[in-house]
């Protein structure tokens, strides 16, 4: 009943964005748990805990990246061959899953820290059913995230409740506490995939014809986007991985805490941007000037991002002083949080521009730009972090995000027209 009322008054794109926000809000309740957890396990242990999540995040990028965008594009543009597209995407995800667990196993064998090995093993169990993400691709393509998440949100509520009880009430050793939290997160990932299968329980497309030639073409077409996403993952997480080896655990713990706070805003913003991709695809045929459409979407989302960042900053100040009190650590965290929030600007521009490049079939530019961003990030981390610690890591992130999220369009001839539209729009429409 509620969904019918909403559909009559709100556009499908906005409904889908709202559904994405609900999903991300529940799933990234983990960020809130992590913030509270840091108080009980200490910054040094929190540094190891965050390291494992960053490492697994990097490994799991292959599930969340290039293939999804290629699938959504083909699914929307081809109404006759959708069963074949779906079944072969599922087959591709199975192959990707095998590769994922092979990489995790290899790292497990070479890692010497037993705590990190155990945490990695527990968290990786949550990826066993990840090939069912093909169902999520369909939901996103059809702008039905609100419908799905409004039915199954109880899983995320229960998971959040259990994790908070474990952290706040259960008196256990630090290692045991971290193991339990990771186990609950793995169960959440498994239940999500099961619920996706239940949502499409009346569909039998996964039994369709699977062609290894189609799978090969899918992988070939999606690899530039996948490579770009891996590069993005590198400069989003590589700083914390490198910092484990070149700075103190306390500096890493502080920086990891700040990143968790900023990621809450990033989660909300990225949820809003999910629904813009189908709009960009449609704009390719429905608008005479795709560049003007892209600029309009960027400006609209930058204004929303500013409001979200202000609200999050106020909340984060309260959380920081509640956990760490009126100390130098609290003031340092607030300064770092304000600085790192600037990267959300480049998250917006980078995401929308990536949609533009995909529609215009300019994926190689995306690869080049993200590679440059990663190179700059790694270089500046090694230069700045040993001397300036967490402050240096924030500055390195700002530089790399600015280049990979916006600056690159000024260096390629294929994006000259877009460059002019962005400059004109920022001058005439920003205020």
Domain residue extents for the chain = 2-428
Nearest-CA neighbor of 355 among 399, 291, 306, 402? 291
Measure the CA–CA gap between 429 and 258, rounded to whole angstroms. 32
152-211, pLDDT tens digit by residue?
667 777 777 787 787 777 767 888 888 888 888 888 888 888 888 787 766 655 455 667
Measured between alpha carbons, how far is residue 396 from residues 179, 222, 223, 345, 385 in Å? 32, 29, 27, 15, 9
The residue written with tokens 């003031």 in the block is 331
pLDDT value at residue 101? 87
pLDDT value at residue 1? 45
Question: Which DSSP string corresponds to 150-190?
Answer: HHHHHHHHHHHHHHHHHHHT----HHHHHHHHHHHHHHHHH
> What is the SS3 assignment for 259?
helix
- Token digits for 231? 């590069």
Measure the CA–CA gap between 274 and 301, rounded to whole angstroms. 12
Measure the CA–CA gap between 235 and 229, rounded to whole angstroms. 10
Residue 67 CB partners (closer than 8 Å, separation 6+):
89, 92, 93, 96, 218, 219, 222, 226
Nearest-CA neighbor of 159 among 183, 123, 135? 183
Contact 27, 156 (CB under 8 A): yes
Nearest-CA neighbor of 52 among 155, 134, 122? 122
The residue written with tokens 């200490």 in the block is 42
pLDDT value at residue 23? 66
Category of 389 on φ-ψ map: left (φ > 0), alpha (ψ -120 to 50) or beta: left
Neighbours of 129 (CB within 10 A): 16
Measure the CA–CA gap between 21 and 19, rounded to whole angstroms. 5
pLDDT value at residue 83? 77
pLDDT value at residue 67? 72
The residue written with tokens 């793995």 in the block is 186
Report residues of the chain scoring pLDDT below 70.
1-31, 59, 61-66, 79, 143, 145, 149-153, 171, 201-210, 219-236, 274-275, 278, 282-289, 291, 363, 407-431
């Amino acid at each position: 009943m509620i969904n019918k009322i909403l559909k009559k008054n709100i556009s499908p794109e906005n409904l889908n964005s709202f559904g994405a926000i609900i999903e991300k809000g529940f799933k990234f309740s983990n960020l809130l748990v992590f913030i509270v957890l840091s108080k009980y396990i200490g910054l040094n242990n929190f540094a190891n805990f965050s390291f494992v999540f960053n490492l697994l995040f990097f490994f799991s990028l292959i599930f969340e990246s290039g293939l999804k965008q290629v699938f959504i594009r083909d699914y929307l543009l081809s109404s006759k061959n959708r069963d074949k597209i779906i079944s072969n995407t599922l087959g591709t995800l199975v192959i990707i899953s095998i590769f994922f667990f092979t990489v995790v196993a290899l790292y497990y064998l070479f890692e010497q820290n037993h705590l990190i090995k155990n945490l990695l093993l527990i968290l990786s169990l949550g990826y066993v059913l990840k090939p069912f993400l093909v169902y999520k691709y369909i939901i996103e393509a059809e702008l039905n995230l609100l419908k799905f998440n409004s039915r199954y949100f109880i899983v995320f509520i229960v998971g959040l409740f259990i994790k908070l009880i474990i952290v706040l009430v259960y008196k256990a050793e630090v290692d045991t506490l971290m193991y339990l939290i990771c186990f609950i997160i793995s169960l959440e990932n498994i239940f999500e995939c099961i619920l996706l299968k239940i949502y499409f329980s009346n569909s039998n497309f996964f039994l369709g014809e699977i062609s290894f030639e189609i799978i090969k073409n899918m992988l070939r077409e999606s690899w530039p986007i996948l490579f770009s996403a891996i590069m993005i993952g590198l400069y989003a997480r590589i700083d914390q991985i490198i910092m484990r080896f070149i700075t103190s655990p306390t500096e890493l713990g502080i920086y990891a805490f700040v990143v968790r706070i900023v990621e809450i805003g990033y989660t909300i913003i990225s949820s809003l941007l999910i629904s813009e991709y189908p709009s960009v695809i449609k704009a390719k045929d429905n608008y005479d000037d795709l560049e003007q459409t892209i600029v309009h979407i960027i400006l609209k989302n930058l204004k929303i991002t500013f409001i979200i960042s202000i609200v999050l900053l106020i909340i984060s100040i309260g959380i920081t002083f509640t956990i760490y009190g009126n100390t130098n650590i609290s003031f340092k965290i607030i300064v770092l949080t304000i600085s790192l929030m600037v990267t959300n600007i480049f998250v917006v521009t980078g995401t929308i521009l990536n949609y533009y490049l995909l529609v215009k079939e300019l994926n190689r530019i995306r690869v080049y730009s993200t590679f440059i961003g990663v190179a700059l990030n790694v270089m500046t981390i090694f230069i700045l972090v040993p001397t300036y610690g967490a402050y240096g890591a924030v500055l390195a992130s700002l530089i790399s995000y600015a280049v990979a999220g916006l600056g690159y369009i000024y260096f390629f001839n294929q994006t000259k027209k877009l460059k002019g539209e962005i400059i004109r729009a920022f001058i005439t429409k920003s205020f």
